[in-house]
Amino acid sequence: MQFILLSGSFHSNSRSLAIIEALKPFFDEHTIKVPQLNELPIYCEDIASDKPTIIGDFLSELEAAHGILFCTPEYNHSIPAVLKNAIDWASRPAFNSVLKNMPVSFITQAASPVGGARAQAHLKLILDSTLADIHICHEMMITGVDKIFDQEMTITDQNVVRRLERHVEGFIKFSEERFKRTDT
Ligand SMILES: Cc1cc2nc3c(=O)[nH]c(=O)nc-3n(C[C@H](O)[C@H](O)[C@H](O)COP(=O)(O)O)c2cc1C
């Protein structure tokens, strides 16, 4: 199966990208892609009718996917604009986009003790509007994120590694079951 991992940040010290890096071994039997959402233009109806190639390529990747896993920080009690912009592009045509029935799952992280809980709640609400298939599970939030890495941004907190592995395993199973349901 093919999975898309979407990060909510792209700076050189991105914890979200570092967590995505740590998730890769858990998808070893599958193909994964990590689109550079920071390169997408801001959604505008004027260009939506004649989509730039980069948007066409992004939508094709989503269309071929069997599941999308989001990993994002919280920005001002919500999700970063770069992620919302990507979802806006992917969400058209309304209720019949590439996101319809797409298995989606979420990981949020923050330095704070809240772990991006508000961003996660907003993501669910936003994805709900697209008729995506939300992976209901123990919510995966990482609190105190700055304490889980070493200097090379490798996760050294084995409890977090185990929780991430369990989350990915659950999501892969959820996505497999969803595609089995569609095939029958
Ligand atoms: C513009 C901005 C807004 C932020 N707002 C919040 C917030 O509302 N809640 C929170 O817990 N952290 C907030 N933070 C902190 C980041 O979410 C946090 O440091 C996170 O770990 C950064 O993840 P990243 O390295 O993937 O970008 C904010 C950071 C920025 C730059």
User: What is the CATH number for 120?
Assistant: 3.40.50.360
Number of domains in the chain: 1
pLDDT on residue 184: 54
Check pLDDT > 80 for residue 183.
no
pTM, entire model: 0.97
* Cβ neighbours of 150 (radius 10 Å): 9
Distance CA 66, CA 132 (A): 12
Q: What tens digit of pLDDT does each residue of 156-182 get?
A: 999 999 999 999 999 999 999 988 877
Q: Are 33 and 58 in contact (CB under 8 A)?
A: no
Q: Whose CA is nearest to atom 31 of ligand 1?
A: 75
Q: Which domain does 50 fall in, by range? A: 2-183
| Mean pLDDT within 18-37 | 98
Residue 19 alpha carbon, nearest atom of ligand 1: 26
Instruction: Confirm or reject: Cβ of 9 under 6 Å from ligand 1.
Output: yes
Is 97 in contact with 67 (CB distance < 8 Å)? Answer: no
Residues 36-91 pLDDT 10s: 999 999 999 999 999 999 999 999 999 999 999 999 999 999 999 999 999 999 99
